[in-house]
Amino acid sequence: MKKVFCIGEALIDFVAEKQGSDLSKAVQFTKKAGGAPANVACAISKLGGKGIFIGCVGNDPFGKFLLDVLKHEGVDISLVQLSKTFTTLAFVSLAEDGERDFVFSRGADKELEYDHDLRKTLKGNILHLGAATALLGGSLEKAYGKYLFDGLTKEMFISFDPNYREDLWKDEQEVFIKKCMPFIEKSHLCKFSKEEAQLLSGKSDIHEACDVLHEVGTRIITVTLGGEGTLLSAQGMKKIIPSIEVRPVDTTGAGDAFIGCLLNQISNLGNFDPVFEDFALLEKMVAKANKAGAITTTNFGAIVALPTKDQLEV
C-alpha cells in the first residue's frame, strides 16, 4: 500500500447555521475541523489507507483540537509543524436560502516550511496537492512548488485539486488561473468541480474544458457534477459516471471524500500503470469514489461524515 502525502491547510470552521447570511448578526457558532487536505487525509485513513497530513497549525488550543481530530481518524500527523502564529480560522454564516457571509482569518497554515529531509520517504508514493490556501502566498506556497518538483523527481503519482474559493480570489481570478497552470501541467490526476474546469479552461462546455486542460498536461481529469455524478476524461475517452441517489443535508467535504477514496484505491495498486492504461478500471474507481462523496452529504460536518470502508462495501 502506497502512502498518500496531503499538503496544505488544516483550519477551524466556525459555522453559524440558520442565523441569516449576515455574520454581524450571528450569535452562535459551531466549531468544526476543516481544511481540504486534512479532510482528504482523513478520508483515506478512514478507508484503511495511509493518509499523511503535512501542514502548519498554531501552537494553541485550536491547533491541538485539529491534531486530536486527525489523530483520532488515524492520520499520520508526525510531519505537522507548529507555529507561534494562531491557527487559521474561517467564519461562515449560512442562511436557509443558501446565501452566506464569509470571513477568513489566515494564520499558521501559510507558515509551512519545506522539509528537505522528507525527500527520502517520498519515492514511489502519492502526492496530493489539494489546498485552498496554498497559492495565496507565504512559505506554504514556496513549499508547495518544491514538493511538486520532489514528486516529479521521486516518481510519485501526483494529484491536484485547485479548490477554488471565490471568497479568497474575488478580484484576482486571472492570478489564480496563472498559478494553477504548472500544477495542471505536471500532475497525473486533476480533480475539478464544474465551475473550476470552466474557469481554468475558459470553456463553458465541460467536454471542451477537459480537452483544453489535457493540452496543458494532465493525463486524467475528473469533473465532479454533484448529483449527476462525475465526468471522467482519460486515454482519449470521456464518460459521465453516475452517482448513487441520496438525500443530501450538507455537501461540505463531499469533494474531499471523492478524491480521498479515489487516491486510496490507487494507493492499493501494485504500481500506477493501470490507471493510465485501463479506462474500465478507472470507471470502477470513480464509481466507488462517487459513492463516498454521496454518503458524506447525508451527515453534517465533513470529517465526521466521511465514510468508513464498511459503509462503502454495503
Binned at pLDDT 50, 70 and 90, residue 98 comes out as: low
pLDDT at 182: 98
CB-CB contact of 300 with 290 (8 Å): no
Strand partners, 39: none
pLDDT at 101: 82
96 has a pLDDT exceeding 80:
no
Domain limits, the chain: 3-8+34-84+107-308
pLDDT at 299: 85
Helix ranges (DSSP H) in 137-238: 139-153, 173-186, 194-201, 206-216
Cell 492520520 -> residue? 75
Binned at pLDDT 50, 70 and 90, residue 251 comes out as: confident
Question: How far, in Å, are 97, 158, 173, 196 from residue 109 at the CA level?
Answer: 31, 21, 22, 23
249 has a pLDDT exceeding 90:
no
For the chain, give the mean pLDDT.
95
DSSP code of residue 58: E
H or E element, residue 14 = strand 11-17
Long-range contacts of 163-167 (CB under 8 A, 24+ apart): 163/36, 163/130, 163/131, 163/132, 164/132, 164/193, 164/195, 164/196, 164/199, 165/132, 167/102, 167/104
Give CATH for domain 3-8+34-84+107-308.
Answer: 3.40.1190.20
- Contacts of residue 13, defined as CB under 8 A and 6 or more positions apart, other chains included, come to 31, 32, 33, 34, 90, 92
- Rounded average pLDDT over 33-43: 97
Q: Cα(256)–Cα(268) distance, rounded to whole angstroms? A: 18
- Tell me the percentage of the chain whose pLDDT exceeds 70: 98
Cell 522539509 -> residue? 115
At 83, phi and psi to the nearest 5?
-130, 155
Q: Does the pTM exceed 0.85?
A: yes
pLDDT at 301: 77
B/e letters for 167-181, b = 16+ CB within 10 Å, e = fewer, are: ebbeeeeeebbebbe
Closest CA relative to residue 208, chosen from 229, 184, 233, 185: 233
15 has a pLDDT exceeding 90:
no
- Rounded average pLDDT over 254-260: 96
Question: How far, in Å, are 40, 69, 124, 175 from residue 113 at the CA level?
Answer: 21, 22, 22, 23
- Contacts of residue 122, defined as CB under 8 A and 6 or more positions apart, other chains included, come to 5, 150, 151, 154, 156
For 153-192, how does the pLDDT look when each residue is reduced to its tens digit (9 = 90+)?
Answer: 999 999 999 999 998 998 999 999 999 999 999 999 999 9
194 has a pLDDT exceeding 70:
yes
H or E element, residue 234 = strand 230-234
